[in-house]
Structure 1
Amino acid sequence: ICGRYEGVDERVAEHLADEELSIGDYVLAGGELAAMVVVETVSRFVPGVLGNAKSLDSESHTSGLLEYPQYTRPAEFRGHQVPEVLLSGHHGEVERWRREQSERVTRERRPELLD
């Protein structure tokens, strides 16, 4: 059941709903977007929805850290370079860089996750 503006009638919440779910601490005009977030999140666990089932193992929150920065081609964009380590071909170095960057990003954006 998606609320609208002020939410759902308390009698519905108490007597018809099995449970209530929050997707975060912010206000939406209606519950439709929240419902879409739940569908998107849950459907990822349905076999065949993701192109590669192993993708679930490396999601940004599975390690308790935020995801490291992503880079694509070209190697240089408007004077900004892809970090050299990512072009090196050294898988161990790339993995270490990703871990360090995940820790840095988490410290900067969501330090409470490190507690």
Structure 2
Amino acid sequence: DNQDAYVAVPEVGGDPGMHLFGVFDGHGANGHEVSSLVRHSAARFLNVAAVRAAAGHPDGEARAAAVEVELGEVFLQLQSLLSVQVDFDSEGSGCTAILALCVDGELYVANVGDSRAVLAS
């Protein structure tokens, strides 16, 4: 049973320079429900204004750290959502997640669990 889900959101929040991509690998009895919920909610929790402000920082390391904080907030919001949703029993189920956020041509990647990204050219 395939419990994977993915999302590709061009122009997140109407910002033409910001694009979000994610892959979610569900596990457990309701892993397919978890990965689907995360898929449909990830972009909604991205604070576009905060990412845009972070991306404008002139120092590369500070910029990356600020965007990292915002991607971490997405994961925290998703975890909170899973703890209060009532459509299915998420006890013993979950998903790994990897998010790739492209901001003005710079790529930021964050993951939870054992999902990884490979950069190739």
TM-score (normalizing by structure 1): 0.30
Q: Larger relative CO (CA 8 A, sep 6+): 1 or 2? A: 2
TM-score (normalizing by structure 2): 0.29
